[in-house]
Amino acid sequence: RKEVEQDPGPFNVPEGATVAFNCTYSNSASQSFFWYRQDCRKEPKLLMSVYSSGNEDGRFTAQLNRASQYISLLIRDSKLSDSATYLCASGGYQKVTFGTGTKLQVIP
Amino acid sequence: GAVVSQHPSRVICKSGTSVKIECRSLDFQATTMFWYRQFPKQSLMLMATSNEGSKATYEQGVEKDKFLINHASLTLSTLTVTSAHPEDSSFYICSATGTSGRSDTQYFGPGTRLTVL
């Protein structure tokens, strides 16, 4: 079993739609969780850290479920510019493991 | 804040040559730097972790004699791909954690695309 697993997609959604991604992690000792966004042929950029209480940043909401060992990302009112691959990551201070990414394509 | 640069952004070299990639933290001190490799349509694969002033820790399956890592200062780490071969062609990305923001958050450089002919 992979340490971090994501549905690769692609998720094709119309503009304005709400889309949710889930990501499961296998290491119950993981302390840190993140969502990154990666555009084609570019480096990953931090979208948001994921806190136990859940956190929201504009149209983006991240949740952590420690009991079931998954994190989620909700994107509301999708924009064309949201099209990218979304990587989840979990780990600790010295090592973070990334999922393979979920590809999102927002369609006009 | 938390800007990481990489140089060069793209390099094409002949098989058998060595290539050095630099990773710099521009506005914070990077106590730990990470080197990843990403093949097309695949996930980031951690190659090694380096702490300033000490030897790098390599992931299983990564040849330390082939991928030489030096983290001589709190703002600079280098990766040297020695005797490069076509199968080493990939996107190499560094990241850093340190004194910016949360100590466990990795900030990525823009990556170096290596093509070995």
B67: left (phi over 0), alpha (psi -120 to 50) or beta: beta
Which pLDDT does position B4 carry in this prediction? 93
With beta carbons less than 8 A apart as the criterion, state whether A104 and A9 touch.
yes
Instruction: Provide mean pLDDT across the span A87-103.
Output: 86
B-chain CB neighbours of A43 within 8 Å are: 93, 108-111
Chain A residues with CB under 8 Å of B97 CB are: 93
Tokens at A95, concatenated: 């090592």
> Could you tell me the two tokens for A91?
């780990």
pLDDT band at A23 (very low <50, low <70, confident <90, very high): very high
What torsion do the CA atoms of A21, A26, A27, A30 make, to the nearest 10 degrees?
10
Specify the 3-state DSSP secondary structure of A82.
helix
Q: What is the DSSP code (8-state) at residue A77? A: S
Among the listed ranges A63-72, B97-106, B107-116, which one has the minimum average pLDDT value?
B97-106
For residue B112, the cross-strand partners are: B92
Residues of B with CB under 8 A from a CB of A: 32, 42-44, 46, 49, 91, 93, 97, 102-111, 113
Q: A99 and B43: CB-CB below 8 Å?
A: yes
Residues in chain B: 117
| 3-class SS letters over B87-108 | HHCEEEEEEEEECCCCCCCCEE
Residue by residue, what is the 3-state secondary structure of B32-54?
EEEEEEECCCCCCEEEEEEECCC
Strand partners, B108: B95
Q: pLDDT value at position A13?
A: 97
CA distance B13 to A51: 44
Other CB atoms within 10 Å distance of the CB of residue A20: 12
Taking residues B5-34, what's their average pLDDT?
94
The gap from C-alpha B27 to its chain's centroid, in whole angstroms, comes to 18
The yes-or-no verdict on residue A92 having pLDDT over 80 is: no
Whether A94 has a pLDDT exceeding 70, the answer reads no
User: Considering just the CA atoms, what is the radius of gyration of chain A in Å?
Assistant: 13
B24-72 residue pLDDT tens:
999 888 888 999 999 988 888 999 999 888 889 999 999 999 999 998 8
- Three-state DSSP at A80 gives helix
